[in-house]
Chain A
Amino acid sequence: MEAGNGRPLSTRPHTLPSASATPLGQGKSARRRGPVVVLLAPALGYLLLLFFIPLAILTAVSFMGFRSGLIVREFTLGHYAKFLTDPFYLKILLTTVRIAVSVGVLTVMIGYPVAYFLARTRSKWKGLLLALVLAPELSGVVLRTYGWLVILEDRGVVNTLLQSWGLIATPVKLVHNATGVTIGMTHVLVPFAILALMASIQGIDPTLELAAMNLGASRVRTFLRITLPLSMPGVLGAFFLTFSVSAGAYATPAILGGFFNDTATTEIYTQLLYILNWPFAAAMAVILMAVVLAAVILSARLAGRLTGAPQ
């Protein structure tokens, strides 16, 4: 899974099954706190050292100066100002957000029919059909993105077919631009949207749909007037979920965008490893993190509202 871009194959990555409510477990742990600390220490300690402290340092570096190729110990907001005012970098931010919005909309549109089907089917193959949706996620994002490159490039499958049918004279540019990145990323993230939407549609009482149809509404009308409006929180939740993963993805923009394409993640890579401006790369990373976390929180809120879970 490196699901797509290092994300879990669940719509709510930051939640766990709640503590078992057996009186057995509760009574005991209420008395003894020691074991809990011991049990949590290895994992928390590890993440503290190699995740939280590095993130704190990253944030600190983003406020440091950068002169003649060296990091200078001083406080400055210059890197943030540069990113948010320089038209070159503003364009990168806008491109990233634009692609992420397109990916969010497309994944929801493509994922909805499958999610609806899986939520409502009574087939005995349901488990298998659900596994099939998730199976492509197990193959790496690099493999699938390479597949799209073969399909979309100038001498690729699509252009060759269109040319042999005489529909176009010269190849259509489908890769090394935002179109290719959007197509590839949409494909990688459709399973995420399906899981989020499925959970939402399963929460809708099917008798509401039956009632509408009993009263003479067609299937299409029932869907448009009953199912779709009731699943709106799920739709928005799925949108923000795939939006957030898409904004933070690197491999697909790199491969299908031609490596020096204008997205935030590829620019972070360039700044860090080619231009070596670490404070600026750090500032971009912090901004990206803020955008993604905002989307993740929105997504979780919408999913929570839907299932009636307390916020």
Chain B
Amino acid sequence: MTRDRRTGAETVMGPRAIRFWKRDLPRWGFLALVGAIYAYMFLPILVVVLTSLNPTPYLRLPPQGLSLRWYAAALTPDWLDPFRVSLVIAVASAALATLLALPAAFALVRHRFPGRDVVAALLLSPLSLPAIVTGVAILQFLSLAGMRGLLGFNSLLLGHIVLTVPYAIRTIAISLHGFDRSIEQAAMNLGATPWRTFRHITLPIIKPGLFAGMVFAFIVSFNNVPISLFLVRPGMITLPIRILNYLEYRFDPSLAAVNMLSLAVILVVVTVAERTAGFTRFVYSR
């Protein structure tokens, strides 16, 4: 038996044991739990990596060797064609969304006008709706308006822009927010026209945000399922939809290799964006 230093009461535990039970164990237990959750977050991605390199059709742990046979299966026109479609749509919808978003973000951040909050909510509303509803709505709209001919590349591009515009607006708005406008004022005081000021002062300063918005839009479009789902047509299909269609009937590790292909694109894009524009600070800023 020992005495508690503070209360003087007799306890069965020494001060060390108390510190262990009351402080150290909860702390280390908590950190272990957080570590485990981090591991869980990456678990399925790790499994896809392992599956893509595993020689047998079913993944065994520990892995039983190394093989690139699934990559050989992935690098065929069956997968490369949809892959190319996804890339082109993602680049085009990101670029067009940025063009639409830049002036809108300017208006929202720089100007105060009646109904500004409503306009902002409207512009961002595609993000709050289930995207599958948007997909259904666009398909029915194109059909009933007699524009079924647009289905395929055009409809995919039009549909993706609905979703990429709000992402781009939000990211660009973040970069415009906290912009020191006295620099612009100085340029104009020195006689620069508004356009010249925009071109030589404003644009260079918000370029990282613009670029981050474009990358955001690219990723959103590249990974999109619920809008593409209704707007593809035979011969003009995006990679995620091709994977879904394949999964409906078959299931083999070539899919893991195909998924690695798209993961590689995302990794390259994000790395470049991080190096040039500090992408991550736009990801979680609010």
- Enumerate chain A interface residues (CB-CB to B < 8 A): 1-2, 5-17, 19-20, 22, 24-26, 29-30, 33, 35-36, 38-40, 42-44, 46-47, 50-55, 57-58, 61, 110, 113-114, 117, 127, 130-134, 136, 138-151, 153, 155-157, 160-161, 187, 190-191, 195, 199, 218-220, 244, 247-251, 254-255, 259, 265, 268-269, 272-273, 278, 281-282, 285, 288-289, 292-293, 296
Given A8-B167, A16-B120, A16-B173, A146–B226 Cβ distance below 8 Å? no
Contact call B177/A160, Cβ cutoff below 8 A:
no
Contact call B284/A6, Cβ cutoff below 8 A:
no
Could you say which of A1, A29, A40 contacts B104, with CB atoms under 8 Å apart? A40
Contact call A39/B103, Cβ cutoff below 8 A:
yes
Given A39-B104, A40-B107, A47-B122, A148–B44 Cβ distance below 8 Å? yes
Contact call A117/B34, Cβ cutoff below 8 A:
yes
Q: Find chain A residues with CB under 8 A from B37 CB.
A: 110, 113-114, 190
Query: Which residues of B52-106 have CB atoms within 8 Å of chain A's CB atoms?
Result: 58-61, 99-101, 103-104, 106
> Smallest Cβ distance from B128 to chain A, in angstroms?
5
Contact call A14/B121, Cβ cutoff below 8 A:
yes
Contact call B26/A218, Cβ cutoff below 8 A:
yes
A139 vs B111: C-alpha distance in the bound complex, in angstroms? 36
A136 vs B266: C-alpha distance in the bound complex, in angstroms? 11
> Smallest Cβ distance from B178 to chain A, in angstroms?
8
- B5 in contact (CB, < 8 A): no
Contact call B133/A140, Cβ cutoff below 8 A:
no
Contact call B109/A289, Cβ cutoff below 8 A:
no
Q: Find chain A residues with CB under 8 A from B47 CB.
A: 147, 150-151, 157
Q: Find chain A residues with CB under 8 A from B284 CB.
A: 9-10, 130-131, 134, 195
Could you say which of A19, A53, A218 contacts B110, with CB atoms under 8 Å apart? A19
- B139 in contact (CB, < 8 A): yes
Q: Find chain A residues with CB under 8 A from B46 CB.
A: 147
Consensus secondary structure, chain A interface: helix
Q: Find chain B residues with CB under 8 A from A133 CB.
A: 38, 41
With A113-B30, A147-B51 already in contact, 11 other A-B pairs whose C-beta atoms are closer than 8 Å:
A1-B219, A19-B116, A20-B109, A20-B177, A24-B181, A50-B158, A50-B162, A54-B134, A57-B137, A57-B144, A218-B23
Q: B145: nearest residue on chain A (CB-CB)? A: A57
Q: Which of B170, B221, B222, B283 has the most CB of A within 10 A?
A: B283
> Smallest Cβ distance from A105 to chain B, in angstroms?
16
Q: Which of B47, B136, B144 has the most CB of A within 10 A?
A: B136
Indicate with 1 or 0, residue by residue over B208-248, a CB within 8 angstroms of chain A CB atoms. Answer: 00000000100111111111011000000000100110011
> Smallest Cβ distance from A70 to chain B, in angstroms?
13
Q: Find chain B residues with CB under 8 A from A160 CB.
A: 58, 60-61
> Smallest Cβ distance from A144 to chain B, in angstroms?
5
- B286 in contact (CB, < 8 A): yes
Contact call A14/B128, Cβ cutoff below 8 A:
yes
Given A6-B163, A29-B110, A296-B128, A250–B226 Cβ distance below 8 Å? yes
Given A44-B122, A148-B44, A251–B226 Cβ distance below 8 Å? yes
Given A20-B177, A248-B131, A2–B225 Cβ distance below 8 Å? yes
Contact call B220/A2, Cβ cutoff below 8 A:
yes
Contact call B26/A248, Cβ cutoff below 8 A:
no
- B146 in contact (CB, < 8 A): no
Interface window among B9-17, B199-207, B254-262: B254-262
- B149 in contact (CB, < 8 A): no
Contact call A19/B109, Cβ cutoff below 8 A:
yes
Q: Find chain B residues with CB under 8 A from A15 CB.
A: 120, 124
Q: Find chain B residues with CB under 8 A from A22 CB.
A: 181
Given A2-B219, A39-B104, A55-B137, A292–B129 Cβ distance below 8 Å? yes
Could you say which of A138, A148, A187 contacts B270, with CB atoms under 8 Å apart? A138
Contact call B109/A16, Cβ cutoff below 8 A:
yes
Could you say which of B116, B139, B247 contacts A255, with CB atoms under 8 Å apart? B247
> Smallest Cβ distance from B196 to chain A, in angstroms?
17
Q: Find chain A residues with CB under 8 A from B23 CB.
A: 218-219
Contact call A61/B44, Cβ cutoff below 8 A:
no
- B272 in contact (CB, < 8 A): no
